[in-house]
């Protein structure tokens, strides 16, 4: 795909958008013959205004038509590469809600179909199928934005806004995994505004959790701590009535995220307090559940005990907590959570100098959910550390994983 002529690039993106030449021509206001000549290189594209029109119809950044094509490595097929990032960015840069203020949205998917698509996207994320999710997200974002605009003044307005808020959160989480922290923050921030229109405090609370995660990834640790704790306090169960399960789940996840931020600045006392509060919420919940796609419960609290210990630099405590964890509860967790934990424990083992066990944890995570290990910049850093500190030739499985991830041995 390197250095393709612009006509071939147009044909490539038209194919990815699943548009026929006739449909593409109609949307451009050109003839099918004109499109065919452009794609074959018979007709030159010498007007920038036309190139920008093409980029708008194809919903890609114009630089992808004019610049060098991103190389797509075979081992990255299950990750989110720069092509997908640019497509997601283009979808986030759309302002269909403002356009709908002036004229009706021409097309909007039925809300029942949108609900199924959003649920499928959540499950795809929680099974760490990041490549599959990345290829679906741009269209899902555009469809959710269109649905939100189309139903803005109808009885379904809150339902459409709720779905869009969820899609923004899925995008935020996926982008953060692959190091696109600014875009992750943008998507999470969008979700907060949309969640308010949806009239759902728990969705807004979960959007705040995503904002906190993005801020933490950006190194904005204290703002991350503040947003998590402040919103958790507003959602804290009060009164004699038994709190609802979904409320406990969102509240507990905010506390856990706050604990991660506190650990990043070395505030062990706040970490203990927040973990204690989350633990109490998990006991009231009575088990591990996936309300509001949180995977919250006693097991997730244990995972965060390990993760916060690693952030505090106490690898020994993290490993001890890992070894004493309820195995049945852990095995019941979704793949993304378990593989994420193996990455945390790999870091813990490197902190106590056991690079052999650290490598084994990376391999366990890779067997369970390859994308969680191979797609995350943090995993690349940990693997590099393991290789650097391994005496002699690294074990064959580690060397193979390093080669597949493009990490130098």
DSSP secondary structure letters along 299-322: HHHHHHHHHHHHHTT-HHHHHHHH
114 within a domain of the structure (yes/no): yes
Q: How far apart are the C-alpha atoms of 215 and 206, rounded to whole Å?
A: 14
For position 64, what pLDDT does the model report?
Answer: 74
Same domain, 58 and 174: no
Same domain, 176 and 153: yes
Same domain, 87 and 56: no
Same domain, 12 and 52: yes
Same domain, 172 and 85: yes
Same domain, 49 and 32: yes
Same domain, 24 and 115: no
Same domain, 32 and 148: no
Q: How far apart are the C-alpha atoms of 267 and 380, rounded to whole Å?
A: 27
What are 8's two structure tokens? 């071939």
Q: How far apart are the C-alpha atoms of 372 and 345, rounded to whole Å?
A: 14
- DSSP label at 69? P
Q: What angle do CA 177, 180, 182 make, to 5 degrees?
A: 125
Q: Which of 165, 199, 219 is the last residue of a domain?
A: 219
Give, for all 409 residues of the chain, the pLDDT tens digit: 445 688 888 888 888 777 899 989 988 889 999 999 999 888 888 777 788 788 878 877 677 777 544 444 444 447 777 777 888 888 887 765 544 444 555 567 899 999 999 999 999 999 999 989 988 999 999 999 989 988 888 899 999 999 999 999 999 999 999 889 999 999 999 999 999 999 999 999 999 999 999 999 999 999 999 999 999 999 999 878 889 999 999 999 999 999 999 999 999 999 999 999 999 999 999 999 999 999 999 999 999 999 999 999 999 999 999 999 999 999 999 999 999 999 999 999 999 999 999 999 999 999 999 999 998 989 999 999 999 999 999 999 999 999 988 887 5
For position 197, what pLDDT does the model report?
Answer: 93
For position 95, what pLDDT does the model report?
Answer: 66
Alpha helices in 151-264 (DSSP H): 157-177, 181-198, 201-217, 221-235, 245-264
178 within a domain of the structure (yes/no): yes
For position 4, what pLDDT does the model report?
Answer: 66
13 within a domain of the structure (yes/no): yes
Same domain, 136 and 166: yes
Same domain, 27 and 119: no
- DSSP label at 292? G
For position 222, what pLDDT does the model report?
Answer: 97
pTM of this structure: 0.81
For position 50, what pLDDT does the model report?
Answer: 83
Same domain, 2 and 83: no
Which residue range(s) make up the domain with 205? 78-219
């Amino acid at each position: 795909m390197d250095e393709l002529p612009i006509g071939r690039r147009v044909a490539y993106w038209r194919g990815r958008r699943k548009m026929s030449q006739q449909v593409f021509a109609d949307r451009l206001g050109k003839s099918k013959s004109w499109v065919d000549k452009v794609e074959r290189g018979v007709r030159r594209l010498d007007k920038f205004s036309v190139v920008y029109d093409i980029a708008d119809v194809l919903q890609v950044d114009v630089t992808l038509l004019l610049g060098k094509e991103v190389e797509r490595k075979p081992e990255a097929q299950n990750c989110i590469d720069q092509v997908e990032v640019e497509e997601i960015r283009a979808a986030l840069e759309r302002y269909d809600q403002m356009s709908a203020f002036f004229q009706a949205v021409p097309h909007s998917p039925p809300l029942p179909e949108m609900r199924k698509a959003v649920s499928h996207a959540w499950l795809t994320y929680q099974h760490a199928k990041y490549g599959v999710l990345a290829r679906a997200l741009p269209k899902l974002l555009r469809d959710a934005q269109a649905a939100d605009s189309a139903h803005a003044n109808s009885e379904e307005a809150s339902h459409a806004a709720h779905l869009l808020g969820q899609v923004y959160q899925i995008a935020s989480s996926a982008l953060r995994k692959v190091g696109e922290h600014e875009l992750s923050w943008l998507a999470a921030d969008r979700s907060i505004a949309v969640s308010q229109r949806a009239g759902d405090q728990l969705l807004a609370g979960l959007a705040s959790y995503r904002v906190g995660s993005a801020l933490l990834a950006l190194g904005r640790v204290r703002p991350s701590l503040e947003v998590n704790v402040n919103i958790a306090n507003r959602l804290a169960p009060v009164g004699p009535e038994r709190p609802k399960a979904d409320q406990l789940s969102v509240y507990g996840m905010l506390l856990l995220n706050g604990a991660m931020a506190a650990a990043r600045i070395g505030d062990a006392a706040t970490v203990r307090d927040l973990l204690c509060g989350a633990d109490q919420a998990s006991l009231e919940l009575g088990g591990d559940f996936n309300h509001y796609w949180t995977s919250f419960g006693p097991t997730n609290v244990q995972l965060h005990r390990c993760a916060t210990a690693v952030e505090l630099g106490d690898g020994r405590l993290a490993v001890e907590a890992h070894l004493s964890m309820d195995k049945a509860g852990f095995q019941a967790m979704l793949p993304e959570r378990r593989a994420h934990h193996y990455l945390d424990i790999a870091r813990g083992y490197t902190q106590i100098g056991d690079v052999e066990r650290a490598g084994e944890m990376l391999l366990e995570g890779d067997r369970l959910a390859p994308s969680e290990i191979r797609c995350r910049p943090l995993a690349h850093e940990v693997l590099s550390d393991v290789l650097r500190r391994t005496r002699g030739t690294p074990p064959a499985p580690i060397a193979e994983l390093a080669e597949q991830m493009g990490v130098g041995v």
